[in-house]
A and B are shown apart, each in its own frame.
Chain A
Amino acid sequence: MKRVSFSFERVGLIAQNTLREATRQKLFHFLVFLALALVLSARWFREFNFGAPELKFLADFGFGAMAFFGSALTIAATAQLFFSEIENRTALTLLAKPVWRSEFILGKFFGVVVLVGLFCALLTALLMAVLWTRERELMREFADAYPADGHIAYLQVALAGTLQWLKLVILTALTLVIASFARSQLFTIVTGFFILVICHLQSIAQVAYARSESLLSRAGAQLLSWIFPNFQLFTLADSLDAADAWPWSHYGRILIYTFGYTTAACALAAVSFRHREI
């Protein structure tokens, strides 16, 4: 009997096909268009800056758009691209070939990861262009208040965009876990959004429960922090100044954190999908 080993080539083929299908979807075009429009129009919302310096406000606005639309795109695209294979029965033809179920899961995962990577790269590039243009205008207007090379460390902006993408990589893997056993796309999307909220708020809950007298509450908070990743760790828009940059080792830790959660979630999705009847 010819042994069929796990193949990264097959994973790549499924990912390529997933990405190609995703970029043809109207939902993707719509969300990209909205996010781009929001970043471009940030200058006209300067009146609502709540006292923050203008360039900081522009960056916050851009990263806010990236986080909001990126999360929506990640959850919707993962659920849609997974369930379209099941509901259209293309998964029948694909899984009737000598293909491991884990290859299918990883193919879907990498397809969405590249998709949200393109989204984040596009938005980060646009945000950098908006910031650069406005900074140059302000430097001409208030030459005394700005150093010759400006305030903004553009590497920081690029890194903040990368961190947004890493966060969405984890969210993709978590949504895939839900999709691997869920019976409907709607359930996957709704649960995906719940998980997104928990991941954003879990650090607050942890702080609140850590002060609690109850051992049960503290244990619960600890358990929550182990199960769900803390998405607050991926926020790097407090300062755009190079002087406030995080040390590289910190980025390394975040990379390991992302890799750990992603690997665990993908493994869980593969195990759950292994015995699913198509």
Chain B
Amino acid sequence: MAPIALNLFPQPTSSPAIELKNVVKDFTIGLRDLKLRAVADLSLSIPAGQIYGLLGPNGSGKSTTIKIILGLATPTLGECRVFGTPSDQVEARVNVGYLPESPYFYRHLTGRELVRFYARMCGLRSAGLEKRLAEVLAWVGMVEAADRSVGTYSKGMLQRIGLAQAIVHDPQLVILDEPTAGVDPIGAAAIGELILRLKAEGKTVLITSHLLGQMEELCDRIAILDRGRLILEGSVTDLVGRTGRQTFVTESLSEAELAELRTWFEARGRGFESGEAPRARLDRIFLDRVGKSSSP
């Protein structure tokens, strides 16, 4: 497949892709001027070239944080920069692609017309536009459905055409808000693969999702928000890896062999915590079986 890099808008790589400093966002509710704090003193620095997961329960401030990064909401306090440019400036969005949660696009346009519309909004001109459209539609696997009206698309197709519009101008930062919400496991896996390919091309990806298993597989670093506060941040390896523990996987052992092994560990002063048959992951079985049955 043709390489995706277009490098329309090169950016200095010295600045972090996203930098939030002590960001606070309050919303006013009702006529009594009651304040709801959606984001509380949030500081984050997201380096370029990584897949960064923003996790948290509903109402934890993930979407508000994304809106601040995109300049769609103004922080009450603090500052936000995208590649060193304040996020409230139009210039900050030149190098950003965004796929909103449950995207809703102009239903009367075909997939190709929709991506062409957003490409032209980003300044792509006719000379390379059609070539770029063909590349991006192939990249997200939407060539066959590209000339169908968006109104007829399934959720998975909407997410993929949404991803196409997000990357059509070759941004260095791609923000994906719940890209796999409501998508079946096959679609979610396909989107996961696309995200990994974006990283392989040197893009920074900021992603929110409730599929923690998938986030663990995809992300280099994660931040967990709760009621607007950052409660945990770090690399996935550091956070989920358990130090001082080791796992072995071998062929099935008999009861006698297990007892012998336990004695061997005890003789060396090591505890033997558990010995159990490893389980296959249900999503892997699903993808294997459904993938096989649907292949020609």
* A residues apposed to B, CB below 8 Å: 1-4, 7, 9-10, 13, 17, 20-21, 24, 88-90, 92-100, 275, 277-278
A96 in contact with B121 given A2-B91, A4-B91, A277-B72 (CB within 8 Å): no
Closest to A23 in B: B108
B67 interface hit (Cβ, 8 Å): yes
Q: In the complex, how many angstroms separate the beta carbon of B99 from the nearest chain A beta carbon?
A: 8
A13 in contact with B121 given A1-B91, A4-B94 (CB within 8 Å): yes
Residues on B with beta carbons closer than 8 Å to the beta carbon of A98: 90-91, 93-94, 121-123
Q: In the complex, how many angstroms separate the beta carbon of A264 from the nearest chain B beta carbon?
A: 24
The A contact surface, by secondary structure, is: loop
Query: A-B pairs with the 3 shortest C-beta distances?
Result: A96-B98, A278-B72, A4-B90
* Bound form: Cα–Cα A276–B117 in Å: 24
* Bound form: Cα–Cα A13–B9 in Å: 21
* Bound form: Cα–Cα A100–B105 in Å: 20
- Per-position 1/0 for B102-133, Cβ under 8 A of A: 01111011000000011011110000000000
Residues on B with beta carbons closer than 8 Å to the beta carbon of A2: 9, 91, 94
Q: In the complex, how many angstroms separate the beta carbon of B255 from the nearest chain A beta carbon?
A: 60
B96 interface hit (Cβ, 8 Å): yes
Decide if B122 touches A89 in the complex (CB within 8 Å): no
Decide if A3 touches B121 in the complex (CB within 8 Å): no
Residues on B with beta carbons closer than 8 Å to the beta carbon of A278: 67, 72-73
Residues on B with beta carbons closer than 8 Å to the beta carbon of A96: 70-72, 93, 96, 98, 100, 175
* Bound form: Cα–Cα A1–B15 in Å: 12
Q: In the complex, how many angstroms separate the beta carbon of B84 from the nearest chain A beta carbon?
A: 8
Closest to B116 in A: A13
- Per-position 1/0 for B56-76, Cβ under 8 A of A: 000000000001001111100
B208 interface hit (Cβ, 8 Å): no
B85 interface hit (Cβ, 8 Å): yes
Residues on A with beta carbons closer than 8 Å to the beta carbon of B91: 1-4, 98
Q: In the complex, how many angstroms separate the beta carbon of A66 from the nearest chain B beta carbon?
A: 27
Q: In the complex, how many angstroms separate the beta carbon of A246 from the nearest chain B beta carbon?
A: 41
A89 in contact with B104 given A17-B117, A96-B98, A99-B121 (CB within 8 Å): yes
Residue of A17, A98, A275 most packed against chain B (CB within 10 A): A98
A97 in contact with B106 given A1-B91, A277-B67, A278-B67 (CB within 8 Å): no
Q: In the complex, how many angstroms separate the beta carbon of A44 from the nearest chain B beta carbon?
A: 37
Chain B: residues with Cβ within 8 Å of the partner, total of 32
* Bound form: Cα–Cα A20–B149 in Å: 14
B159 interface hit (Cβ, 8 Å): no
* Bound form: Cα–Cα A17–B93 in Å: 22
* Bound form: Cα–Cα A3–B67 in Å: 22
Decide if A277 touches B106 in the complex (CB within 8 Å): no
- Per-position 1/0 for B124-162, Cβ under 8 A of A: 000000000000000000000000000000000000001
B165 interface hit (Cβ, 8 Å): yes
* Bound form: Cα–Cα A98–B93 in Å: 5
Name B174-221 residues within 8 Å CB distance of A: 175
Residues on B with beta carbons closer than 8 Å to the beta carbon of A13: 117, 120-121
Q: In the complex, how many angstroms separate the beta carbon of A115 from the nearest chain B beta carbon?
A: 15
Residues on B with beta carbons closer than 8 Å to the beta carbon of A20: 108
A99 in contact with B90 given A17-B117, A278-B67 (CB within 8 Å): yes
Can you identify 20 A-B contacts, CB atoms within 8 angstroms?
Answer: A1-B84, A1-B85, A1-B91, A2-B9, A3-B91, A4-B90, A4-B94, A13-B121, A17-B117, A21-B108, A90-B105, A95-B70, A96-B72, A98-B91, A98-B122, A98-B123, A99-B90, A99-B121, A277-B67, A278-B72
* Bound form: Cα–Cα A28–B90 in Å: 34
Decide if B118 touches A21 in the complex (CB within 8 Å): no
Residues on B with beta carbons closer than 8 Å to the beta carbon of A24: 108
Residue of A2, A93, A100 most packed against chain B (CB within 10 A): A93
Q: In the complex, how many angstroms separate the beta carbon of A212 from the nearest chain B beta carbon?
A: 37
**Among candidates B96, B104, B175, residue contacting A90 with C-beta atoms closer than 8 Å:** B104
Decide if A9 touches B120 in the complex (CB within 8 Å): yes
Closest to A9 in B: B120
Residues on B with beta carbons closer than 8 Å to the beta carbon of A99: 90, 93, 121
Residues on B with beta carbons closer than 8 Å to the beta carbon of A94: 118, 121
Residues on B with beta carbons closer than 8 Å to the beta carbon of A100: 90
Decide if B121 touches A97 in the complex (CB within 8 Å): yes
* Bound form: Cα–Cα A10–B118 in Å: 10
Decide if A90 touches B106 in the complex (CB within 8 Å): yes
Residues on A with beta carbons closer than 8 Å to the beta carbon of B100: 89, 92-93, 96
A92 in contact with B90 given A13-B117, A17-B117, A21-B108 (CB within 8 Å): no
Residues on A with beta carbons closer than 8 Å to the beta carbon of B96: 96
Residues on B with beta carbons closer than 8 Å to the beta carbon of A3: 91
* Bound form: Cα–Cα A161–B123 in Å: 37
* Bound form: Cα–Cα A89–B67 in Å: 12
| Given A89-B100, A93-B98, A97-B118, 14 more pairs with CB closer than 8 A | A3-B91, A4-B90, A13-B121, A17-B109, A20-B108, A90-B104, A93-B118, A95-B72, A96-B70, A96-B72, A96-B175, A97-B169, A277-B67, A278-B67
Residues on A with beta carbons closer than 8 Å to the beta carbon of B90: 4, 98-100
